Amino acid sequence: MAIRKLLLLLKPLDPYPFLPPEGVSRIKNPQVLRYLESRCTVHKDAINFCQEILHKKPVEWRPISRSDLLHPIHDVDMVITVGGDGTLLQASHLIDDSVPVLGVNSDPTRTEEVEALSDQFDASRSTGHLCAATVENFEQVLDDILFGKRVPSKVSRIAVKLNSKPLTTQALNDVLIAHPCPATASRFSFKINSKDDGESCSKTVSSRSSGLRICTAAGSTAAMHSAGGSVMPISSRDLQYMVREPISPGSSPGLMHGFVRPDQSMDVNWFSNRGSIYIDGCHVRYTMQLGDTIEISSDAPVLNVFLPPHALTRNISKVI
């Protein structure tokens, strides 16, 4: 597909408002202030650099802040995000399978900085796990795409139905079903069913816990992996689930963590007074109430993403 029209989606220029309007920061550590100021500068420089490169290419493009992106994206041949994984995730919520996306990590973590400041604070910057480019290689990656030398990967997403009604947002990384108060137990049950005949593929599991997380292959390196789950090959169409901090696994300890195949779905019954469905973090949230039902499956349009080499070649890991 010829790429002639692009949308440049930008993380806001001042994502770290460490100085209030009166100009006096509550942060007293000068190294923290220098770190935050550096992040702002590096991100701004990356935006300017990407725009300078695009001016030289035979493409039509327009920039937009991600905070101003409100409607589905249909009228472009490709989206380029400049920020980190969060900016790419936000773009994915408004893109179907017809528009590929390239992520540019505008502020990669600097190993020497993390080591030098590790005794004072966490100096990590942007992970950019799904971002195929940085300012160091952006022009080369872009040229490879424009000349057809690089093709996007098809990455699974999660479809969610609440009381049989599809939610408008599909998850690229993960879905968290939980009580909106993190200190309150979530009460729910779930089982895995076959899509073909509706027959149950597992016993019904009842849970009192901190909630239920379901992830894609792309999201398996994030919260799921931190909780002890498996890193999945990026091409996998399976979904992985894990009950978070079960109070008592009861007779089903082996079913607190597992996989949902493409020919299966997970049905969840919610038994708490309140609940929330979080899509790819905390910014997209749907509310639930006692008696609601949730259906989770991979029946969502894939996202076409230009991925970095490390994401394409990763192997599945053992469950901890």
Chunked in runs of 10, what are the mean pLDDT values of the chain (320 residues)?
92 66 66 87 96 97 93 94 96 95 96 93 92 97 96 97 97 98 95 85 91 97 95 96 87 85 97 98 96 97 94 56
**pLDDT score recorded for residue 21:** 56
The CATH number linked to 91 is 3.40.50.10330
Q: Phi and psi at residue 301, in whole multiples of 5°?
A: -60, 140
- What is the residue range of 292's domain? 159-301
Residue 58 lies in a domain: yes
Residues 175 and 197 in one domain: yes
- Domain match, 134 and 223 both: no
Task: List, in sequence order, the alpha helices (H) in 130-284.
Answer: 138-146, 223-226
Q: Do 146 and 165 sit in the same domain of this protein?
A: no
* Residue 92 is assigned to a structural domain of this protein: yes
Position 232 scores a pLDDT of 96
Q: Mark which of 116, 151, 186 sits at the end of a domain.
A: 151
pLDDT of residue 316: 47
* Positions of E strands within 93-166: 101-105, 153-155, 159-162, 165-166
pLDDT for residue 33? 83
Decide if 210 contacts 180 (C-beta within 8 A).
no
CATH of the domain at 264: 2.60.200.30
Please tell me the pTM assigned to this model.
0.91
Q: Tokens 């770190």 appear where?
A: 35
Dihedral angle of Cα 134, 138, 140, 141, to the nearest 10 degrees: 80
Whether 32 is covered by a domain: the verdict is yes
Residues 256/227, Cβ–Cβ less than 8 Å: no
Number of independent structural domains in the chain: 2
Q: Are residues 248 and 134 in the same domain?
A: no
State which of 131, 151, 171 marks the end of a domain: 151
DSSP at 168: S
**Judgement on whether residues 147 and 9 belong to the same structural domain of the protein:** yes
* pLDDT given for residue 23 in this prediction: 53
| pLDDT attached to residue 249 | 67
